[in-house]
Amino acid sequence: MDWTFGIALLVGFAPMFLLMDRVMRNYTYPRVETPFFKDSTFFIMMTVGIFEGVFIYFAINILHLLGSPISILYMIAIALIELMAMVVVMNLKRFRGKSDSIFYG
């Protein structure tokens, strides 16, 4: 059995979940009476970010962007598009003006 995918999954996701647990534990239910953010919205936004990263990975591989001599421009453009998408999402009506929006960004 090939363990490469499992090891890559562990190396990729384990630090993210450990860091997320370490940082967020003081802001949610067991530690505080009223949580600072909704867990469901937080995990939905995290899942969207994971799928966005997978989509970008496949787009880079399919379009052979890393082999191009101007690949740094593609990377900068992708980063700017991601940032603009985050600004658009954070300006949606359900996130605007709420104190818990900082956790979702």
Q: What is the pLDDT of the chain when averaged over all its residues?
A: 81
Q: Is the pTM of this model over 0.85?
A: no
> Average pLDDT per run of 10 along the chain, which is 105 residues long?
80 86 81 78 82 84 81 87 85 74 61
Place of tokens 């359900």: 94
Task: Identify the pLDDT of residue 80.
Answer: 93
- What angle, 0 to 180 degrees and rounded to 10, lies between the N-to-C axes of helices 71-90 and 39-62? 160
Distance CA 100, CA 37 (A): 5
User: In this predicted structure, what is the pLDDT of residue 1?
Assistant: 53
Contacts of 29 (CB under 8 A, 6+ apart): 35
